[in-house]
Amino acid sequence: MKNELKAKVKSLNEDLEGKSPVDIVKKSLEEYGEEIAISFSGAEDVMLIDLAHKSGKKFRVFTLDTGRVFPETYDLFQKVEEK
C-alpha cells in the first residue's frame, strides 16, 4: 500500500509540474471528488475556493466553528457563499 501511494504521488507530481493552480485544483477534484473538501476559516482561503469554482468541478467547503469566530468573519462567509 505504501509503495502504491508513493507511486501515485510521484505520478501526480510529474503530471502537475508546471501546471497552473486552477489545473492543480481541478485535477485534485477529478482524482478525489467528494473525498476532499476545502477548509474555510477566513479571507486567506477565498483564493482556493475561487480556484475550485473556476475548475468547473463540484466541491465541498467546511468551516470549524469554534465559538470564537468574529461577527465579521460570519459576514465574510455569507458573502463568499452568495458569490
pTM, two decimals, is 0.74
Q: What is the pLDDT of residues 1-40, one digit of tens each?
A: 788 989 988 998 999 999 999 999 999 999 888 899 999 8
Is 39 within the bounds of a domain?
yes
Q: Is residue 51 within 8 Å of residue 22, measured between CB atoms?
A: yes
Q: Is residue 49 within 8 Å of residue 62, measured between CB atoms?
A: no
Residue 68 is predicted with a pLDDT of 86
Q: Domain of 41?
A: 19-82
Could you give the CA distance from residue 79 to residue 83 in angstroms, rounded to a whole number?
6
Element (H, E) at 49: helix 46-55
- As for how many domains the chain has, the answer is 1
Is 65 within the bounds of a domain?
yes
Is 3 within the bounds of a domain?
no
Is 66 within the bounds of a domain?
yes
What sign has the CA pseudo-torsion 28, 29, 31, 35? positive
Q: Which three cell numbers stand for residue 34?
A: 467528494
